[in-house]
Structure 1
Amino acid sequence: MLQQQYKQILVPVDGSYEAELAFKKGVAVAIRNNASLHLVHVVDTRAFQNISSFDTSMVEQVTDTAKETLDKYIEDAKKAGLNDVDYSIEYGAPKTVIARDIPQNLNIDLIMIGATGLNAVERLLIGSVTEYVTRTAVCDVLVVRTDLDNKPAVNPSKHV
């Protein structure tokens, strides 16, 4: 029986608990498939366009925080036994960068993305990146909704 093998896996990370679960599961899937794992953090530049005095130091701050998180993820992946792991920080609209740009540029065949933390009203008003990616991505998408024991994910910081 032939098994699906993924070779290029993309995991978008944004510092959220849901993204961390997607990262952890992404590492496990990459190891099982002997695949490359690509992490991406997308800085949504549209969020800064409404600020009257566009301050580049704000973008630099966001970028520095993302680098710290991504460096830690790379370290964790290597400790788990995955050496073929890298990351990039992109700027633009997260939806299209994750669903289209990176998959085409890196020949991604699987996107593993955390389930959104937005409620139904927020999704309706601003739209969920996860929802957009599942609808429009050019490759398979796996939405991570559970923890490493496949139990429903409960964000510890939301239930204090």
Structure 2
Amino acid sequence: MLQQYQHILVAIDGSYEAELAFKKAVAVAKRNDAELILIHIVDTRAFQNVSSFDSAMVEQVTENAKSTMEGYVDQAKKAGLDKVSFSIEYGAPKTIIARDIPKAKNIDLIMIGATGLNAVERLLIGSVTEYVTRNALCDVLVVRTDLANKPALASTKKPTDNSDK
């Protein structure tokens, strides 16, 4: 019997790579008749050094995230998925994606973009994707290609780019 996933988690952080992961997760959820759970983590470390920190700032970030996530849920439903939900969590993205949500929601597949950070951010705080692939207790699919299975970076190249010659 083929592996059948029941509960698929996809991490959404606003990056192009997360968008690719979402699109592929919708396709995988449809093929498996699985529940798709979208997660957005508000990294609370980003607020630690803000001297004028107040709850209004967190509320604004949360409202923006909620609006974005509702848009993703709508897209998934228009694509034919019935079982779609989202969650906005607060804390360290690495452990929430790799351990907390998978345990709480009985996740059997995590789909995540190859990277959502620039090189400096990866150097300073480490790659969430790398941590998740090393520490998750379930299968992890790292999305590096678009829906046509073309490398994501290749699809953003300009037609006049002659660097391959």
The interval holding the TM-score normalised by the smaller chain is over 0.9
Distance 1:152 1:12, change over 3 A: same
Distance 1:85 1:144, change over 3 A: same
CA contact (8 A) 1:17 1:155 kept: no
Distance 1:58 1:155, change over 3 A: farther
Deviation at 1:52, TM superposition (A): 1.6
Deviation at 1:62, TM superposition (A): 1.1
Partner of 2:150: 151
Distance 1:9 1:109 in 2: 6
Deviation at 1:155, TM superposition (A): 8.5
| Structure 1, unpaired ranges of 5+ | none
Aligned AA (2:114): A
Instruction: Give yes or no for the alignment of 1:37 onto 2:47.
Output: no
Partner of 1:107: 106
Deviation at 1:123, TM superposition (A): 2.6
Instruction: Give yes or no for the alignment of 1:25 onto 2:24.
Output: yes
Partner of 1:133: 132
Distance 1:123 1:50 in 2: 19
Tell me the secondary structure at the aligned position of residue 123 of structure 2.
helix
Partner of 1:48: 47
Tell me the secondary structure at the aligned position of residue 116 of structure 1.
coil
Distance 1:158 1:133 in 2: 28
Deviation at 1:30, TM superposition (A): 0.3
Write the deviation string for residues 23-44 of structure 1: whole angstroms up to 9, x where unpaired: 1100000000010000000000
Distance 1:149 1:157 in 2: 14
Distance 1:43 1:121, change over 3 A: closer
Distance 1:119 1:48, change over 3 A: closer
Partner of 1:13: 12
Q: How many residues align?
A: 158
Write the deviation string for residues 53-94 of structure 1: whole angstroms up to 9, x where unpaired: 222111111111111111111110011000100000000000
Distance 2:127 2:82 in 1: 31
How much identity, in percent, do the aligned residues show?
74
Aligned AA (2:15): S
CA contact (8 A) 1:74 1:85 kept: yes
